[in-house]
Structure 1
Amino acid sequence: MIKPKPTLRRRVMITSVIILVIISSAMAGVIYQLFRQSHINAFSNDLINQAPLFIAQMHQAGLVSDLDTWIDSVDTSDPKYSSALCKDQETIWASADIKEEVKPLFCNRTNDIADGSHLIETHEGEFVLAYIATLVPPNGRAPNLTYKDHRIVVVRPASSYIEQRAEVEKNTLFSLSGFIVLSVLALFLAFHWSFKPLNQLAKELDDITDGEQNDLKARYPVELEPITIALNRMIYLSKEQGQRYQHAMDDLAHSLKSRIAATHAIMDEPEQSKTEMVQRIGEQTAQMNELVQYQLKRATLGQQGLTKESTPLSESIVGLERMLSKIYMDKHIKLTHRYASDATLPLNKNDMMELLGNLMENAYRFALSEVRVSTHVTNKTITVKIEDDGPGVDEAHREAIFQRGVRADQLNPGQGIGLAVCHEIVSIYQGKIWVETADIEGAAFVIELPLS
């Protein structure tokens, strides 16, 4: 048998119903006990009002001789009331309606019962209401009271009281049942309304999974806001991670193209020994491996994977020149260096190779005969300028070319990844990159990086 999955709604609902039933039952019990005692007292008050009857009966028995004449008018034949005068368990006197065989039990049954009103079960299994009072001298004085410390017991049948109590119990049970049913219904409606935001949250998450929306948009209660904020952040990070992987794969493919092209150029070069070819191909393979590791690190860690350090410029330029001159050997490009031999850039080595590689590859591709690399250093920044004598970049496209999918060469549309990667790397290092007209009439890509 498959057990149903536990649900928060069911758990809270059951707990609330149990608490409701317990509290309601306890309240009903307390109210019933209060009513029961109040009901007994009401009947007992009637017993107290029959005191003249009891005294008149004692007068007729010759126990009291100094009563007012008004007592003689009291009807002592009322069968509903019985009375007795008790001393401990001994019956001193009992009203005429009490049978002889019952008299010894009358006072014995009430001997251990405190003064006041009580509901007592007789030996025959019937119930009577009894009022018990002990005769004591008032205020500590000793008046002429013949029967002090005796107990007066007045009883009456409790059948009408039992009937009324049964009716009260019935009404109480009916009212309690109705109250619980209505309360459970109200709880059900309240929980349905209270848990509605959770249902909305589940629906929105399904829509996000199905691609129908990008994040959680509904307004949620204050208690759910930390959860929805955390979920939106998780969704954003997940999409950002996926986008980073996609960009990293695109960037990797773009970067590897130049290395593969350089490898083919090396293999097609006839004037080299096998040993030299193997060595140069090994250099390209090592660079490819570094590129793969670099892009995987960027995809996994994002900006956290990029570390700032001081990297020599000359070494990177020389390596790129050697590779690009093989790829574009038919153009016979002249590379001019205008920077100090010990110049460095505040970039990670792999970041600098990726940045300069993309810019120099663009320069070699569009240049007619010359490419220049120069630097300018101030107290706070270092500026790197890469120029070519090609057709340049139209002013209308100078901002758009740094977006993915847009190429500097608008006549030959392609992936448009290289310049977007450059913009991303420079932005991460809080730098700037832009394009302007070169001194040699082509395009000049300028990178400005903070030194600290």
Structure 2
Amino acid sequence: MRLTRDLADPRFAQPLSGLYWMISVHQRGQVLRSRSLWDDTLDLPSDDLEPGAVHRHRLDGPGGTPLIVREQRVQHPSPQGARSLRVAVAIEAAEIEDARRDYALAILPSLGLLAAALIAAAVAQAFVGLRPLRRLERDVAAVRSGATRQLPVDHPDEVMPLVTAVNDLLQEQEKAIDHARARAADLAHGLKTPLTVLRALGQRLRRGGEEGAADDIEAIGADMRRQVEHQLVLTRIRTRSDGRAGEPCPLGETIDRLVRTLRQTPAGEAVVWQVDVPATASFRIDRSDLTEMLGNLLENAVKWTTSRIAVRVREEGRATVLEITDDGPGMPPEQAEQAFRRGVRLDERRPGHGLGLSIVSEICAANGIDVTTAPAEGGRGLLVRLTQVA
């Protein structure tokens, strides 16, 4: 058995070229090999190779060089009958590994560009796809700040069901708020007549000489009026839906008006007032809330001060800071925290119901104003600081 022509790759004819073939004739023990093997043979394992099956091996070749071998058993027809041939082809493993490495190095830049293009496309798709949600977020923020009452209806079709659902919810909430306002107003008007009758009864008892009973009835009536006013203020704060709370309200005008009013009271006319408020200073708050909040704080300062009250406003970056300082006895930090709780009175000897500072706390929480207290400079008196970030 012999080959009638050379193979296409000339390396099969070059000794120790790294490319080899070998054919073993099973019946006769004859071995044919490429000239590149020279005097060596491929040391194939004696495995059971079925006709047509292909096996792959990693063997040592000439000079101990690692080879990758593929072998297959084929049936070769001849005049003497079919012969079983074991055909093996081998190549140096280093050549395959070099080719694999060169291919990887050649394709790596293209894969990198492809990966960068895919990432850029994904980012662009996410940016474009999320654009309606970013706009929706801005519209929700506008509703929350009071700039508008409902979401615009010109959003893409994909988010319109959500916009419609949110607008329906806002409409239902507005109806509930209006209902709560009406009920609170009805309650206030309904209590006016009984309170008027109660006051008249106290005056009648006083004219009849029953001073003790008259004092008790008038105290009860005053307490009820204060409670009603407190609840009306809280109802206005918690149910506001008119969109005014997010607009800037000048501080100087309100502070000047309150100081002029307090100077006309017996307690306030003896106080030395120091007011330093820039004309441009403002809080984003409803005007009635601002009046209620500052009125309670200034009344409290007048109640406790010895002789002097200072009101100062300054800008700290994006924050507006308002400070009210009195030279009264002051209070420890733990008492200052309790003072802003509803109904807490730290000194029962002073007039009041313990509701004013709790209203201040409610107004501050509703308008994003941080309220803190600290001892006044010098350790005597109390400093109340209100801070709102624009």
TM class, shorter-length: 0.3 to 0.5
TM-score (normalised: structure 2): 0.39
TM-score (normalised: structure 1): 0.34
More helix by share: 1
